[in-house]
Amino acid sequence: MRFFLYILFFIYAYCEISFFIKVADSIGVFLALICIIATSFIGFSLVKTQGLKNFSIMRQKMANHQSLKDEVIKNFALLFAGFFLLIPGFLTDILGAILLIPYMQEFLVKLIVKKMPIKSTLVSSTSINQSEEIIEGEFRRKNDE
């Protein structure tokens, strides 16, 4: 297994370096480096805005006692997109940008939800309190002297 991971890493590094060399040949090394840095900044800002939007949708669904499985899968897609955008290189930036596309996220949600059924239940504090008897009262503390 470890040998397979080494081979996979070297194949990835070879593809990434060869793609960078081809891009650098056509637009120049300095401009290629600027493009890699710019895609990282732009990608992280997109991940941040989509993540905050997804977080607000999750809060609304929790308030309405709806299932959160779609938003959780979208959050994982955003997490992987941010990870791929963090790694320098054009191929990983392209993969991270693909994961940022909302239609691609919807496709992943449908694919994952269809493959493995996820059952979720939401337990709120109001449902727990309604089933138990509530006793109201007052108390005072006595200081130990």
Q: What is the pLDDT along the chain (145 residues), one digit of tens a residue?
A: 888 999 999 999 999 999 999 999 999 999 999 988 888 888 888 888 888 888 888 888 888 888 777 788 788 888 888 888 888 888 888 888 888 888 888 887 777 767 665 555 555 555 555 556 777 777 777 776 5
In this prediction, residue 61 carries a pLDDT of 86
CB-CB contact of 76 with 109 (8 Å): no
Predicted pLDDT of residue 82? 84
pLDDT at 128: 52
User: Nearest CA to 100 among 35, 53, 43, 56?
Assistant: 43
Q: Output the pTM of the full model.
A: 0.64
Contact 100, 46 (CB under 8 A): yes
Give dist(CA 113, CA 108) in Å, integer. 8
